[in-house]
Amino acid sequence: MNVKWPKIPLYIIATLLFGVKTYIIYRFMFSIELDNSMQELILFVNPFVSAFLIFALSVWFKKQSRQMKFLRYTALIGTVILYFNLVFYRSFTDFITIPQLFQASNMGDLGSSILTLIEVYDIFLFADVAIIWYLSRKKSDSVAVKYPRSGKAFALAMSFVLLAGNFFLAEMERPQLFTRAFDREYLVKNIGLFNYHVYDLAVHSKVKTQRVFADGTELPEIKDYVDQLRSDEKSDLSGVAKDKNVIFISAESLQSFVINEDVNGQEITPFLNSLVGDKDTYYFENFYHQTMQGKTSDSEFLTANSLYPLSRGAVFFTHGQNEYHALPELLSDEGYYTASFHANNKSFWNRDQMYDSIGFDHFYGDEAYETTADNSIGWGLKDKPFFEQSIKYLQTLEQPFYTKFITLTNHFPFDLDEEDRSIEPYDSNSNTLNNYFPTVRYMDESIEQFFDQLKDAGLYEDSVIIIMGDHYGISETHNKAMSQYLGKEEITPFDHIQLQRVPFFVHIPGDGNGKVMSEVSGQIDIKPTLLHLLGITTENDIYFGNDLFSNNRKGYIAQRNGDFISDDYISTGDICYDRATGEPVDDNTSVVATTSNNPCKPIEDKVAKELDYSDDIIYGDLFRFVDFAENE
């Protein structure tokens, strides 16, 4: 007797296949932290909820051919979205946002960087797409394709029930999930990647309207707040560099964990190590980068404006036409000639437009340099020829000048020719970390060479030289290798925050009072610090940083995702840590709690307010309503 099995709807098969694939990516390819069984459950459920929500729409197509076509292409497009996020995550440990899709002009410059993020086994992520295509084309008579009205109503009702259930569990696990959405990982973990993208689109649409409705009435409240952050007290170094040139070196992907450390028995950064104890150098050992998705461009934005970057995309792209009151513009008003040097094309990170908005007089881009196959690698001109070729331009500038140099060689994937290596790669399971050390050493040598070139050119004595790591180079993806190098069992959330420290040096030839500074500090502080060193007043300016040499500072540094580092505490991953011990203050107390025994809560409120105020300025383009010259 032949048993006639009921036909299974193809959208159910597609949901199961796509849901399983998505869960595997979430669980084993994204480094998503799961703290309890509820988070495990939500992470397992949400891929199937999202898949059912989309695939179930197929029941509303009357024609079978359209149903099949919808299921095929939905599976393909969904997989492409998943895969693009996976490749992006492998590099940045983050998820794509709508603003980043408008940064596609950068993709042509990524080249080998993208290729290193693609794995051979990735082809299996398209297996379910192949199965769905096969079933829809060759076996459509074996699956259900015709649905009664009740079947269609069931599919629609079930979609809403599943979605509501997912959101209910997410809200239970993470209260105020959507109003406190600094962290994209929390959104993906709780509502799924595809619902996150819908949410991101809604947020993008909302912020695009903020400029239209802004009228400047928001500014008095913001001005009152920032005035409370700053100290009228002048530091001992105020005006010490008056009328001196400023040479700012933005050191690509340089993190503090390499300073005064060895690899394979050799110093990683011998020249920078020598500056740490130099009598003319102030070295900040607890200085943090505060960048987000814009990476190098975010660090440029922070240092120029003392405003926070955006939580989504790069402000250089999304708001390049805004009015700013930036460091280059202020220095130009004081008689400085301002220029940026970077051997990359002007359109990368939209620098050609943004540099005009923040007041640079000139940009020496790739057309100013002679780049050949021998003197370039990876992202472009190697650092040593970059500095060598820049000196001739520097000597022609009218003094005093403010110049920004952005290096390239120490950039992911950290390629370096054998003849340029002074130390050998590390030995771990991560080629990225292994190759990081030789490129850092090469950059260190190039900066030492640049110091000598400045002396030979007669520019050294009359200049202040700033060296700053722009952002992290080694992401969380390489935590296993990093724990091996650091001699730790694992990289904890506390360790991860500490790895966001980047070197910051202020070198003032002839000063003689240099020292190591231990205060918590960050890129938000650079604008007021440099202005005060040069003896330029800032009373009427609007910014969120402090003079690094002032004794009266706010005592904390905010990360763009809402984490912070203060003199006594570190807040990350919803845990409040004692900064001195690295231990949680109270295992049962999270940052989102309102209980009085959480010492991180008051600072968390200030951080949220600062980030919101900074966003208001950028999204509303509020500086167009301010005449800073009139206020001075």
Q: What is the pLDDT of residue 442?
A: 97
Contact yes or no for 98/201 (Cβ under 8 A): yes
Residues near 487 by beta carbon (within 8 Å), at least 6 away in sequence: none
What is the structure's pLDDT at 594?
Answer: 45
Quick one: pLDDT band at residue 4, thresholds 50, 70, 90? Answer: very low
Q: What is the mean pLDDT of residues 63-88?
A: 90
CA distance 186 to 200: 13
Tell me the backbone φ, ψ of residue 346, rounded to 5 degrees. Answer: -65, -25
What local confidence, expressed as pLDDT, does residue 231 receive?
Answer: 65
Secondary structure (3-state) at 309:
coil
Q: How much is the pLDDT for 538?
A: 84
Residue where the block lists tokens 């794995």: 119
- Give the residue among 464, 537, 511, 453 at the shortest CA–CA distance from 245: 464
Task: List, for residues 591-606, the tens digit of each pLDDT value.
Answer: 444 445 789 999 999 9
Pairwise CA distance, residues 14 & 19, whole Å: 8
- 381 CB-contact burial (10 Å; exposed 0-12 / middle 13-18 / buried 19+): buried
Helix or strand or coil: residue 295? coil
State the average pLDDT over residues 205-219: 84
Tell me what pLDDT residue 628 has: 83
Contact 556, 607 (CB under 8 A): yes
| More confident call, 578 vs 106 | 578
Higher pLDDT among residues 121 and 273, named by residue: 273
Give the pLDDT score at 426. Answer: 96
CA distance 139 to 126: 19
Burial 161-175 (b: 16+ CB within 10 A, else e): ebbeebbebbeebbe
Burial (CB count <10 Å: 0-12, 13-18, 19+), residue 429 = exposed
Question: Mean pLDDT: which of 59-63, 271-275, 546-550, 596-600 is highest?
Answer: 271-275
Per-residue pLDDT at 154 exceeds 60:
yes
Query: Which residue's structure tokens are 């050998």?
Result: 424
Identified catalytic residue from 15, 296, 477, 529: 296
Burial of 416 (0-12, 13-18, 19+ CB in 10 A): buried
SS3 284: strand
The mean per-residue pLDDT over the stretch 12-34 comes to 90
Whether the CB-CB separation of 357 and 321 falls below 8 Å is answered with yes
What mean pLDDT do residues 193-220 have?
84
The two three-digit tokens of residue 5, written as one number: 């099995």
More confident residue, 558 or 631: 558
**pTM of the predicted protein model:** 0.79
Instruction: Give the residue from 454, 400, 412, 405 showing the smallest Cα distance to 436.
Output: 412
The whole-number pLDDT of residue 552 equals: 86
Structure tokens at 412: 């992911």
Q: What is the pLDDT of residues 213-240, one digit of tens each?
A: 888 999 999 999 998 887 666 788 999 9
441 pLDDT tier (thresholds 50, 70, 90): very high
Residues recorded for the chain: 632
Q: Which two tokens stand for residue 361?
A: 């007089």
SS3 content of the chain, % helix, strand, coil (to 5): 50, 10, 40
Contacts 24+ apart (CB under 8 A), 596-599: 599/568, 599/569
Q: Give me the residue spans of the domains in the chain.
A: 10-210, 237-552
pLDDT of residue 398: 96
pLDDT at residue 105 above 60? no
Q: Which of 6, 14, 5 is nearest to 155 (CA)?
A: 14
CB 430 within 8 A of CB 480: yes
- How crowded is residue 547: how many other Cβ atoms within 10 Å of its Cβ? 24
Q: What is the pLDDT of residue 317?
A: 79
3-state secondary structure of 248: strand
Note if 296 is an active site residue: yes
User: 466 or 589: which carries more pLDDT confidence?
Assistant: 466
**Average pLDDT for residues 104-133, to the nearest whole number?**
77
Q: What is the pLDDT averaged over residues 3-17? A: 75
Largest CA distance in the chain: 99
pLDDT reading at 65 higher than 70? yes
The domain 237-552 having CATH identifier 3.40.720.10: the answer here is: yes
Note the pLDDT of residue 590: 47
* Phi, psi dihedrals of residue 507, rounded to the nearest 5°: -105, 115
Position 141 scores a pLDDT of 62
Q: State what percent of residues in the chain have pLDDT above 90.
A: 60
Amino acid symbol at 348: F
Highest averaged pLDDT of the listed ranges 108-117, 325-334, 531-540: 325-334
For residue 569 the two structure tokens come to 């505490």
pLDDT given at position 395: 97
pLDDT in the model for residue 145: 59
Average pLDDT score over residue span 168-183 = 68
Residue 402: pLDDT band (50, 70, 90) is very high
- The pLDDT of residue 151 is 74
| Amino acid residing at 346 | K
Report the pLDDT value the prediction gives residue 79, as an integer from 0 to 100: 95
Mean pLDDT, residues 105-111 taken together = 52
Average pLDDT of the chain? Answer: 88
Residue 176 has pLDDT above 70, yes or no: no
pLDDT at 533 over 70: yes
Give tens-digit pLDDT for 230-269: 766 678 899 999 999 999 999 999 999 999 999 999 999 9
